[in-house]
Amino acid sequence: MPALTREATSKTVQTSSYNLHYHEAGSGYPVIMTHGGGPGASGWGSNRWVFDAFAAKHRTILIDLPGFGGSQPIAPMEPRDLMNAKAIVELMDALDIPKAHLVGGPMGASIIRFAVEYGDRLNKLVMANPAGGGVSIFKPQPSEGGKAERAFYLNPTRETARWFLELYVCDRALVTDEVIDDRYQDIVGHPQHIENFMKGATNTGARLNNPVALLDQVKAKTLLVWGRDDRSVPLDHALLFLWKLPDAQLHVFGECGHWPQYEKADEFSNLVLKFLA
């Protein structure tokens, strides 16, 4: 288990638009880490396995985006990518961070939107298994992971939580009772997030914009990290991102699914920290 604790690093801030929760530790050049869009996702839940390693070298911030974790419940009326990009830059303003590295989770559209709209606030960019690549030639669509996430939103039980978490990893033995309980408590502890997510899913005004159309506008040096065995965002999407981004490199972990920050925590930390350095 990580040495840094959830309670000791937990903070909140009111920005001009949102009440945001985040975790912070370490000193040095700032790194902001985001999370995915699955049920119960949060900055801590997605990244706690690498938090210690990053905080040893950087001022590291794990943000809960609006509608996730401890941040403000919200039923988005605008595209989530725009809302999330704005939340990140407003958090930076509130914490007096002029520029940072960004390590993004699977909500690819939000990370790409931030990189394009607020490129002057971004140094280097890391994207881990970002969604948004469209049709796959490797896997049927919608993906197994995507269907499991939606099944949970429609029927939020501990068993459906186990189902989608087992689809996040290559080695299902990693989905222990502790991991399931931790994620499930984040879910049942914030029931408004479930309700609001479903409202956003049916609101055409809140639909994500197409991130692929923006990839060639990303100016930041970018590292793509993928799990070869991802059953939510298949590997051929990585090739599309690599082809479209102007300055990118790709690292693929074998025997790894949708959650490299957990399944390959040490390797992920070493790889990304070397890239950021």
Burial of 158 (0-12, 13-18, 19+ CB in 10 A): middle
- Three-class SS string for the chain? CCCCCHHHHEEEEECCCCEEEEEEECCCCEEEECCCCCCCCCHHHHHHHHHHHHHCCCEEEEECCCCCCCCCCCCCCCCHHHHHHHHHHHHHHHCCCCCEEEEECCCHHHHHHHHHHCHHHEEEEEEECCCCCCCCCCCCCCCHHHHHHHHHHHCCCHHHHHHHHHHHCCCHHHCCHHHHHHHHHHHHCCHHHHHHHHHHHHCHHHCCCCHHHHHHHCCCCEEEEEECCCCCCCCHHHHHHHHHCCCEEEEEECCCCCCHHHHCHHHHHHHHHHHHC
The active-site residue out of 21, 35, 190, 258 is: 258
Roughly what angle, to the nearest 10 degrees, separates helices 177-188 and 158-168? Answer: 120
What is the phi/psi pair of residue 184, to 5°? -65, -35
Active site residue 58: no
Active-site positions read: 258
